[in-house]
Structure 1
Amino acid sequence: MLTRSAYLKAPWQFEIRQVELPDEPPYGTVLIKVEACGICGTDLTAAEEKAKDWKAFGHEVAGVIEKIGEGCEGLHIGEKVVLESSSFCGKCELCRNGRVDLCNKAPNFWKEPAMGFSDYMMAPACCVVPYEGLTPEVACLAEPAGVAWDMVKTADIQMGDRVCIIGPGPIGLMAIPLALRSGAEKVVCIGRPGNENRLELAGQLGAEPLLLNSGFLEQEELYRQFDHVLMTAPVRFLPEVFPYLAFGGRVTYIGIGTGSGVIQFDANEFHFRKLQLRASHATPAIYYPIVLKLLKNGTIPGDKILSHTMELNDIDKAMRRFTEDKGSIIKMAIKP
């Protein structure tokens, strides 16, 4: 069967192609009719510099099972599902020792000819998570919500902790209610000019919004005020927020950005203040059942996080608008 599928290549080149999918799903695979797919910051990074060759893209997927191959027990045609962007095998030594969070050996859909920005796509059954009670546009937030939850869990926020979130993007915003539910006494969310609408939402989610009109190091009133800094901005800013940490505090980050990821900092000061630096890298993409419940009960208000939708044929415009109009766009989903 033929389906439309969006492809990208750096810098900022996009195509809608007609690609061939099997008429029947192979063993262990299902055919998904895509209903919504979110644009992720990694898509923007790929479009800017990472994608050296043409490739299909889109990994924050919500859809409906159209066909089921053999070996896909427990799934049903017509079932609404979201897709884990990667998963664990359940068989290796890491998995058997209870560290499924370190295993990426399960099949995935990253090299398929059609991914989330398409009409139809094939996906391994192990990546399929059923859901109900949400619109597809909100359901596709499960993937980034899982990223936010991984960051909060990696930080290990405890009752009474003071938390500073750098960057009011979708991940940072979703981390606010998760940090508060984890016991944080205080959450401050920092953004730069142009992010006023995002900071307004941060306030609605329970954080103290702070608009930063100058550099991080110039905010001396924030020095040594936080048990945790959650960094969702580019990693080059990490050394500038270390002074925000109280004695024994930790920075947890997910930011990747473009260009060099090399940073420098005073390791002696870092040592004697007993600071910690932790990386949250949410692969395999787990925690979907938890975050789907949080989206459904409104703890994570998906209808507020998702600010815009556009159509698949406009993927070029959507990608450019997402990066050029951050003043109004919080999160965007593409619908076929």
Structure 2
Amino acid sequence: MSANALPPLALTMGDPAGCGPAISAAAWSALRLDPALAFYLIGAPHLVSGVPVRIINSPADAAGVFADALPVLALEGAPEISPGAPNASAAPAIVRSIEIAVADALAGRASGVVTNPINKALLYSTGFRFPGHTEFVAHLCEAAGHAASPVMMLTGGGLRVALATIHMPYAAVPEALGDGRLERIAHVVHAALVRDFGIARPRIAFSGLNPHAGEDGTIGREEADVINPAADRLQAEGLSVSRARPGDTVFAEALSGTWDAVIAMTHDQGLIPVKTLDFWGGVNSTLGLPIVRTSPDHGTAYDAAAAGTCRADSLIAALRLAAAFATNRMKIQS
């Protein structure tokens, strides 16, 4: 590895009964001739088929074999798994893969973490108590002594969309938007646009929660009482953040170049435009971490795994984006 080369990316195994093994192999086949996109899989070598596999002893060995074989940092105790048949006995290995990837990234052995999809319900049955990947990765960073302010961002179809709220009922959203949440998220998004995306002067739009961004308070008060005051405070701090923009036009504005990112008020408001524009290639990124973390924007795809029809588009995009983030961070540090 040259003095200026980044370490490889760490790819977690995800649920081995899902699409993880197949899309990991397909991603390696697509990227193996580009050393800047070298990665290693943390998982069970026997679960990967169709491509040459090389067991490595440390992340430092990955770059040297990447062009010829998929580097695998082998996990002990991973059970035999049939594609499409989730098995709770794989849960400890799934969790351990994430723990190793985060530890490698924090130690500088990996330039970032890319996570294959997991089945949270399967993990819950074995004692996993985190809402999902995002919260678990943030916890691991904090447990290692690093601050973490995780914010979910989806990229795809020319859009960058961060989410102000994620998995909660719509009735709970108005109250959740208060208490400084929007300012905290905007600061994280602004910092990530500079550090990870390389945008010197980011322009961020808040979407409205109500139709037509509340129509001057006649179709709801959240814009006037919560979103717009937050935007005003952020603007006073020097951030370029809009007041609430109507949800039916703000994404078209972003596509036209008016905004570098949109902060959507709800999960579906943000995901619908990204998935409509780029259903197969969207990427889920966790901003606000001390490490790079991206993921495919889809689930375990058990049916596709069983049928042998898994598509690796989103994982390939996630690996490319993680490498770009790591490169931009290195430029800032150098």
TM-score with structure 2 length normalisation?
0.29
Higher helix share: 2
Alignment TM-score, normalising by the size of structure 1: 0.29
**Greater relative CO (CA pairs within 8 A, separation 6+):** 2
